Chains A and B, each alone.
Chain A
Amino acid sequence: MQPLRIAVAQIAPRLGLVDENLERHHALLAEARASGAGLVVFPELGLTGYLLQDLAGEVAMRADDRRLVELAAAAGDASAVVSFVEESTDHRLFISAALLEEGAVRHVHRKVYLPTYGLFDERRFYAAGDALRAVPSRLGVGMGLAICEDVWHLSVPALLALDGAQVIVNVSASPGRDLASTHETGLGTATSWRQILRTYAQLTTSFVVFCNRVGVDETISFWGGSEVIAPDGEALLSAPLYDEGLFTVDVELGDIRRERIALPLLRDERPELTQREVDRIVRERAGLAPDTTAEPDAGDAA
């Protein structure tokens, strides 16, 4: 099998300036294609910038927007993942990522977990997506898309892998914070992300492609540090912190098969057990069944 060249566009999108960001996407797509890339990944809200607040409605586009189709055409025989503010027909706004292949928008993932705590305020401005789907890709393997906070929930990589994803792509706009000198990378955020993504790659025995933006929006600085991680948890590409650039790495998709036969975690996964227990927990949390883990008196009050 030919190695797959993955290009990660670690860019600094301009806030609210869609035309400029589109131009940058086209330029980098061309550069990536010229270098032989088969998969090109751009960061979360790469087409719009992150800290939009009330600008979100002004830069939103439909999933069938001509500009996305033009990007798909520009991707040629490569697969590309781009991210934008999506407006649905009923005028909800989503943070979305699109898989572009063969001149078309093949799949759109709407961010399912919107952080609204600490420095984040996403739920105020956006609707949460309701679906997680792995989709077949022209690369010959299933692909699963996730956006930033999505992968701070264990269920997301787990479900994508169960659904057939062999390459999990996470696009991010992660603000860097905590400079305590004890962190391995000098940045707490980067250290946590590296730890969880490597764990996911290993536990899902899948490739994980992480594209995080750089640059500054208002008070926050995005830290980059994009990675491509093999199904055994080894990072094959670790882009530098804070540097803008197009970073590429060659991967062997055959590693997925090797790893999954040697370490058949997914084979042994028991979705029916998970489902049964989740069903029970949902019923208990809704008060439809006695809570088996509640404190002794909790039931009496009800």
Chain B
Amino acid sequence: MSGAGSPGDGADGTAAPFPIPDELRIDTAVARRVIGAFIRGQLAQAGFDRAVLGLSGGIDSALVAYLAAEAIGADRLLCVLMPYRTSSPASVADADDVVRRLGCARDLVEITGMVDAYFGEDGRAGAAGPEGSSASQLRRGNLMARMRMAVLYDRSVTWGGLVVGTGNKTEALIGYTTLFGDSACAFAPIGDLYKSQVRQLAAEMGVPDPILRKAPSADLWPGQTDESEAGFSYPELDRLLHAMIDRRRTREELVAAGFAADLVARVERMVATSEFKRQMPPVAKLGPRTAGVDYLYPRRRPGSARP
């Protein structure tokens, strides 16, 4: 089997502009069906019929917007665009293209003031104090993600809808997320789809071509891309994670299957060190019955829905 996989099929039957490894191909009709019912079920069980999400101009949030619009109707969906001053102008334009095509509600909230008020700007210190002006890209990126989370949860109140997560399985497994930032949500419709599967489904649903074609990026500074930063391609990473996690292959088997030993070791480390991001914080067990340990109820238990 080729490492690159076969070309994806677009909605119009033409080859999509990215490779989809064969073993990751999904039945997109079933996926749409399951995810649609999941979105409706999560909302209904919580007593909501509206949803809100952060639309970045990237493929993940675009796909979730398409899925949510299909599940509940575009009139019940609010997409919030939250650029920072260094965000690419193309991101806003691409996000607006999604909004226009779907016909959903749209809100633009610049987070520049919120972020700069903390880290400071133009030599003026912010709430973080003088050292804030030399904050690393990691700190700045994390704060941006958390400011966007804060905006979405505020809009959740004004719009009267639940916050829909836009994270995918690949980034969750390697820990390429900000805790209480972009990973914060009421539910995650594509959280069990690898990036390659996101691409396959997005192409199938008609997500605009510029969004399908652009290199995945956290858009923290001009020219940043996930793949250049991490040093591997998504199809390669997805194949490795799929074999490692879903197919339970050992390190020896992965290397025998052709994955580079140093890549396997590095990805194993990323998965292990980000374990905490995928779980609820542990509660010190003291009482007779402890939430998450031996007090176990479905979150949508009877009486849990907003009246």
Residues of A in contact with B (beta carbons under 8 Å apart): 15-17, 51-55, 176, 179-183, 186-187, 215-218, 221, 241-242
B31 beta carbon closer than 8 Å to chain A: yes
Count: A-B pairs, CB below 8 Å: 64
Closest 3 pairs between A and B when the two form their complex, measured CB to CB? A186-B27, A216-B41, A179-B26
Are B297's CB and A179's CB within 8 A? no
Are B26's CB and A180's CB within 8 A? yes
Are B34's CB and A181's CB within 8 A? no
Are A16's CB and B301's CB within 8 A? yes
Are A53's CB and B296's CB within 8 A? yes
Task: Pick the residue among A52, A186, A215 that contacts B41 (CB under 8 A).
Answer: A215
B299 — which chain A residues lie within 8 A by C-beta? Answer: 218
Q: Which residue of A lies closest to B40 (CB)?
A: A216
- Measured in the bound complex, the distance between the Cα atoms of B295 and A2 in whole Å is 53
Give the dominant DSSP class at A's interface: loop
- Measured in the bound complex, the distance between the Cα atoms of B42 and A187 in whole Å is 22
B297 — which chain A residues lie within 8 A by C-beta? Answer: 53-55
- Measured in the bound complex, the distance between the Cα atoms of B38 and A244 in whole Å is 15
* Known A-B contacts A54-B296, A180-B26; A16 and B37 likewise in contact (beta carbons under 8 Å): no
Q: 12 A-B residue contacts at CB 8 Å? A: A17-B302, A55-B297, A55-B298, A179-B27, A180-B26, A181-B25, A215-B41, A216-B38, A216-B41, A216-B45, A221-B34, A241-B30
In angstroms, how far is the closest chain B Cβ from the Cβ of A14?
8
B33 beta carbon closer than 8 Å to chain A: yes
Q: Which residue of A lies closest to B38 (CB)?
A: A216
Are B30's CB and A179's CB within 8 A? yes
Are B298's CB and A187's CB within 8 A? no
B29 beta carbon closer than 8 Å to chain A: yes
Within 8 A of A (CB), among B277-307: 295-302
Are B27's CB and A187's CB within 8 A? yes
B23 beta carbon closer than 8 Å to chain A: yes
Q: Which residue of B lies closest to A59 (CB)?
A: B302
- Measured in the bound complex, the distance between the Cα atoms of B42 and A210 in whole Å is 27
